[in-house]
A and B are shown apart, each in its own frame.
Chain A
Amino acid sequence: MTILLAVVLGALFGFVLQRVGATDSKVIWGMLTLKDLRLAKTILFAIGVSSFALFAGMQLGLIDAGHMSVKSAYYGVLIGGLLLGLGWAVAGYCPGTGVAALGEGKRDAVVYVLGGLFGALIYTLVYEKIADTWLFEKIAGGKVTLAGSDKYASLITDISPILIAGAFAAVFVVLAALLPRRLAA
């Protein structure tokens, strides 16, 4: 059953990534050079809507908080994020969109995925050397969220989770709507 869900949800995600233009490196570069922000507006809107719906769904008992999976915050998240951003700009793909672009038959995406497999292998080999360093020191307790849930501790405790999630969601949705299509000349 979960395998069937993996096929359906994975195919849907790949389909949507392609249809919003996230698998087009020209669209990525347009966004990152601030010359065409349609994809940034798409992402902001998606985060806002899904975040509000998730917390509303949990509040109403429609979504099981046990399905949440919050990743730990540690210094490596910042360093890794910087590296990912660098490579993302160089290649024009992130891991998910690179895999999806491969499905479109783009040859540079095949090369990108091979590069990705190489980078992941290098990390797998060096992990043991860096595992005990400051890179993995937690920030603010690690697995924390801004809005509370049954599963994870929250940084903001005296306001109801749906209000916090709703406030952030509102900011994202308003940003998505107001952000001009083009920021840089």
Chain B
Amino acid sequence: MQSYWSWFGGGLALACCFLLAVTLVKPIGVSTQFVIADGVIWSLFDSELLQSSQDNKHGVASPNAYLNKSGGKYAAAIENPINYGFIFVLAMIGGAFLGSRFSKGESEAKVEPSSSCALTQRPASQRYAMAFIGGAIVLFGARLAGGCTSGHMMSGMMQTSLSGYLFALAAFAAAVPTAILLYGRDI
């Protein structure tokens, strides 16, 4: 088991991340960038996906209704992925890599999670299937909700937004029984 920060120190550090972000730029959010990443890949195969537009506030339009919404906000981010939101999420990858090198149980971080987690008795293929299916459900849900644990729950509740509270209640209402049902005996 790795040695993680205490709830007090870790909570303060996490609070600093969210405060710094809202003070300097805007509240932290992650799940939108999955759409942007999809769009960047999609646009490589479909030259019609993005079109310049005078009507859209962000100057880019798309035949896809979702990418075209809010004045082509997502379409514009796909056309120029070197923007704040996308680079922020890419930088998280590097930050987490550094974090894992700092920890004492360093070797364990590198170990395949399926061997170190609760699923020791289960085959790795099952772990991968759960990760893929879970990931698909999470991002579909996050996009329907308009945000994820970062944007809705942490940033939202920090701002005391009603949507953040509703989201957090719904997320835990589903997550706790599901986790107990699936992994209650393993943990």
Contacts and interface: CB of A to CB of B under 8 A. Distances in A.
A117 B21 contact: no
Interface string B168-180: 1111111110111
Interface string A119-163: 111111101100100010001100111110100100100000000
Contacts of B67: 124
Interface string B88-100: 1111111111111
A88 B91 contact: no
Given A3-B82, A79-B144, A15 B95 contact: yes
Given A11-B94, A111-B135, A140 B162 contact: yes
Contacts of B112: 106-108
B117 A25 contact: yes
Contact of B146 (A28, A72, A168): A72
Nearest to A57: B23
Interface string A98-119: 1111111111110111111111
Interface residues of B, number: 124
Contacts of A19: 4-5, 10, 13, 99, 102-103
B141 A47 contact: no
Contact of B34 (A117, A125, A128): A117
B44 interface: no
Contacts, number: 517
A67 B23 contact: yes
Contacts of A23: 96, 99
Contacts of B152: 71, 77, 81
Contact of B91 (A10, A85, A119): A10
Interface in B122-158: 127-128, 130-158
Given A18-B99, A42-B7, A116-B136, A13 B143 contact: no
A29 B137 contact: no
14 contacts: A3-B83, A17-B95, A19-B5, A20-B10, A24-B2, A29-B187, A46-B154, A71-B163, A91-B133, A95-B138, A96-B30, A106-B113, A115-B132, A119-B141
Interface of B: 2, 4-8, 10-28, 30-31, 34-35, 37-39, 41-42, 64-67, 69, 82-85, 87-100, 102-103, 109-110, 112-114, 116-118, 127-128, 130-176, 178-180, 182-184, 186-187
